[in-house]
Amino acid sequence: MRDLALCLFLFFLAKHVSSVPTKAQFQSCLSTISKTPTNLTDHTDSTLYSPSLALSSPSSSFLNLNFTSLKPILTLKPKTESEIKSAILCSKKLGVQVRTLSGGHDYEGLSYLSLSPFIIINLVNLRSININLTEETAWIQSGATLGELYYKIAKTSNVHAFAAGICPSVGVGGHISGGGLGTLMRKHGLASDNVVDARLMDVNGRILNRRTMGEDVFWALRGGGAASFGVVLSWKVKLARVPEKVTCFISQHPMGASMNKLVHRWQYIGPELDKDLFIRAIIDNNVEGGQRGVKTTFQALFLGGIDRLIPLMNQQFPELGLRAQDCSEMSWIESTMFFNWKSGQPLEVMLNRDLRYEDLYYKAKSDFVQKPVPEHVFEEVTKRFLEKETPLMILEPWGGKMSEISETESPFPHRRGNLYNVQYMVKWRVNEVEEMNKHVTWMRMLYDYMTPYVSSSPRGAYLNYRDLDLGNNTRTNTSFEDAREWGEKYYRGNFKRLGLAKGKIDPTNFFRNEQSIPPLF
Ligand SMILES: Cc1cc2nc3c(=O)[nH]c(=O)nc-3n(C[C@H](O)[C@H](O)[C@H](O)COP(=O)(O)OP(=O)(O)OC[C@H]3O[C@@H](n4cnc5c(N)ncnc54)[C@H](O)[C@@H]3O)c2cc1C
Ligand SMILES: *[C@@H]1O[C@H](CO)[C@@H](O)[C@H](O)[C@H]1NC(C)=O
Ligand SMILES: *[C@@H]1O[C@H](CO)[C@@H](O)[C@H](O)[C@H]1NC(C)=O
Ligand SMILES: *[C@@H]1O[C@H](CO)[C@@H](O)[C@H](O)[C@H]1NC(C)=O
Ligand SMILES: *[C@@H]1O[C@H](CO)[C@@H](O)[C@H](O)[C@H]1NC(C)=O
Ligand SMILES: *[C@@H]1O[C@H](CO)[C@@H](O)[C@H](O)[C@H]1NC(C)=O
């Protein structure tokens, strides 16, 4: 049955491929469609889309199909918004799909890989950031990175920040539309919770704002993944206030009974702590000082000084034994560097757009935990981690603001009742199918092992940790019913409303990918 489906699929694809427009045809369309002379250059980036990198996509469905992505017909790096319009209209006319790329960090490569003929719109040239301190807001073009945003905020004010992710090279375009969790979430929520307006280009090339797109679509953009709805040109966000001095610390614990006890204890404490205190736990296995071994690192940000932190820790988490000399006070921007292991380096490292896992390939998955996991599970995780080169598990505490926002306020539904989010990751260096299969299989087994201890019916997943294992998605025209399998893991009860918003803004399902929201009417 599966083989038959695969054959049919390849047959359709083969038929499709023979009618794929050439680069020249696409360019000729671009020059006829725009009334004003545009300057659309083809910037095909041969390094990003080499077949070996396409193969490196850890995506399971590409893998199961034993089939790698097509190459894009061309990659555009528009310098103006009207160039994006031309690209959309030509793609529609020529029957090819659009992949919008902001930071390019999608875990399954959906911003630059596709099984259907496609072009890439890379927003790297559209990344201005305008901060209004009177309003405490910023307009950010989608091509900006979190690092560029944090840097600009810090250059403008020493008491403002933005609540979003930790890695500076992540793009604002994908990140904000998929949620965006980071060190400030217990106090200020997700990046998507702090969006107050957005400019969206729709399938007809119209530019809509919050008022003109309507509340349903605006709701959908804040956590539903913008790729299903159009191209987000820019976001208007609410900045967060932070003290001039914050405090950071790390506390590391080697594998063993006391580590297991501590992580176990953290599950009760992390989500209940003062909102000003964020302590995440990272379990990994890495060579350190030539010695391999599993360890847990608690990495923390406190929105205040050491003098307030130490009594708080003594009272709420004495098991960690934190001392003043383990802590450092710094500015908020320095804390973003601390979390990236870049303390002491020039601020400008935050502007480096190229901090992806360079020559590493990886597969990730996510979970939400609602009741504390028994201690023996961390013992088993340690055992499994010892077999692997670079496995990683990051536990990020919920509670605070995350539990105050209702499940339907935005498409991101994982709110009250969750203790923490888990991200699992495994990385490898050899870009071969066999190697990839080995690691992906290991990851799936770990995920299976965790089943009894995490959320269920549906098992929750975080869109920004995209995972094509979650359900049916070998076609870009999956029906809404088939898509529920993964859709309800990401969005729970919000999935239907996302389908309706999709039906409103893009009824012909032009904006689609291997895991986009099908339209409902
Ligand atoms: C090293 C690393 C660290 C990370 N750290 C964190 C973290 O701390 N917290 C967290 O929450 N997540 C984190 N993530 C996950 C990250 O938030 C997601 O991968 C996010 O979607 C990346 O956004 P991007 O713009 O870089 O990716 P892209 O690959 O460019 O885009 C992701 C998706 O959004 C679509 N898209 C992008 N731009 C637009 C646009 N302007 N309009 C419409 N659709 C668009 C793409 O087509 C694609 O489907 C991390 C990822 C990596 C690789
Ligand atoms: C077109 O782009 C090229 C290269 O970026 C630039 O040198 C040239 O000035 C641009 N022309 C116009 C009309 O904008
Ligand atoms: C891909 O197909 C080849 C040839 O049929 C087979 O040997 C290989 O195992 C397949 N790989 C995967 C990942 O399915
Ligand atoms: C900032 O916002 C205020 C209040 O809405 C507004 O009056 C002002 O014009 C804005 N400043 C800029 C530079 O846009
Ligand atoms: C995928 O969709 C088909 C129907 O198209 C369904 O039979 C199947 O159960 C779904 N799930 C998986 C994992 O294939
Ligand atoms: C998806 O596309 C295939 C191939 O073109 C077609 O046979 C199928 O009916 C389509 N399914 C949906 C749900 O539109």
Mean pLDDT, residues 41-50: 42
Q: Which fold has domain 246-327+358-460?
A: Vanillyl-alcohol Oxidase; Chain A, domain 3 (3.40.462)
Q: Class assignment of domain 2-125?
A: alpha beta
Q: What is the pTM of this model?
A: 0.90
Q: How far apart are CA 272 and CA 419, in angstroms?
A: 9
pLDDT higher than threshold 90 for residue 6 = no
Domain boundaries, the chain: 2-125, 129-241, 246-327+358-460
pLDDT, position 214: 97
pLDDT, position 418: 98
Nearest to 231 by CA among 191, 192, 202, 196: 202
By the 10 Å C-beta count (0-12 exposed, 13-18 middle, 19+ buried), 322 is classed as buried
Q: How far apart are CA 458 and CA 71, in angstroms?
A: 35
- Proximal ligand: closest to the CA of 132: 4
Measured CA distances, 47 to 53, 140, 194 (Å): 8, 27, 35
pLDDT higher than threshold 80 for residue 66 = no
Measured CA distances, 380 to 100, 294, 392, 400, 446 (Å): 40, 12, 14, 30, 10
From 10, 97, 477, the mutation candidate for ligand 6 (largest count of ligand atoms within 8 A of CB) is: 477
Which of the residues 362, 465, 490, 491 is marked catalytic? 465
Residue 67 Cα to ligand 3 midpoint, Å, equals 9
Confidence of residue 23 (pLDDT cuts 50, 70, 90): confident
283: β partners: 296, 393
22-61 CB burial, b ≥16 within 10 A, e <16: eeeebbebbeebbeeebebeeebeeebbeeebbbbbbbbb
Over residues 242-273, the pLDDT tens digits come to 999 999 999 999 999 999 999 999 999 999 99
Residue 60 Cα to ligand 5 midpoint, Å, equals 15
Q: What 3-state class would DSSP assign to 445? A: helix
Residue 66 beta carbon below 6 angstroms from any ligand 3 atom = yes
pLDDT higher than threshold 90 for residue 54 = no
Q: How far apart are CA 513 and CA 69, in angstroms?
A: 12
Average pLDDT of the residues of the chain:
89
DSSP label at 51? H
CA 12 to chain centroid, in Å, comes to 31
Mean pLDDT, residues 347-360: 75
Over residues 312-324, the pLDDT tens digits come to 999 999 999 999 9
Residue the block writes with tokens 């991200």 = 423
Residue 104 Cα to ligand 3 midpoint, Å, equals 28
Whether residue 465 lies in the annotated active site: yes
Atom of ligand 4 at shortest range from CA of 132 = 1
Q: How far apart are CA 256 and CA 76, in angstroms?
A: 52
- List the residue whose alpha carbon is closest to atom 14 of ligand 4: 132
Residue 52 Cα to ligand 6 midpoint, Å, equals 30
pLDDT higher than threshold 80 for residue 49 = no
Residue 40 Cα to ligand 2 midpoint, Å, equals 9
**Residue 503 neighbours by CB under 8 Å, 6+ apart:** 519, 520, 521
Q: What is the DSSP string of 176-233?
A: HHT----TTHHHH--GGGGEEEEEEE-TTS-EE-HHHH-HHHHHHHTTS-GGGT-EEE
Q: Name the least confident of 47-61, 225-239, 332-346, 446-460.
A: 47-61
pLDDT higher than threshold 80 for residue 45 = no
- List the residue whose alpha carbon is closest to atom 6 of ligand 2: 39
- Proximal ligand: closest to the CA of 173: 1
Residue 485 beta carbon below 6 angstroms from any ligand 5 atom = yes
Residue 436 beta carbon below 6 angstroms from any ligand 3 atom = no
Residue 64 beta carbon below 6 angstroms from any ligand 5 atom = no
pLDDT, position 288: 63
Over residues 286-300, the pLDDT tens digits come to 766 566 799 999 999
pLDDT higher than threshold 80 for residue 481 = yes
Relative to beta strand 277-285, strand 390-397 is antiparallel
- List the residue whose alpha carbon is closest to atom 14 of ligand 6: 477
**Residue 164 neighbours by CB under 8 Å, 6+ apart:** 146, 149, 175, 176, 180, 182, 184, 190, 191
Q: Class assignment of domain 129-241?
A: alpha beta
Mean pLDDT, residues 493-503: 98
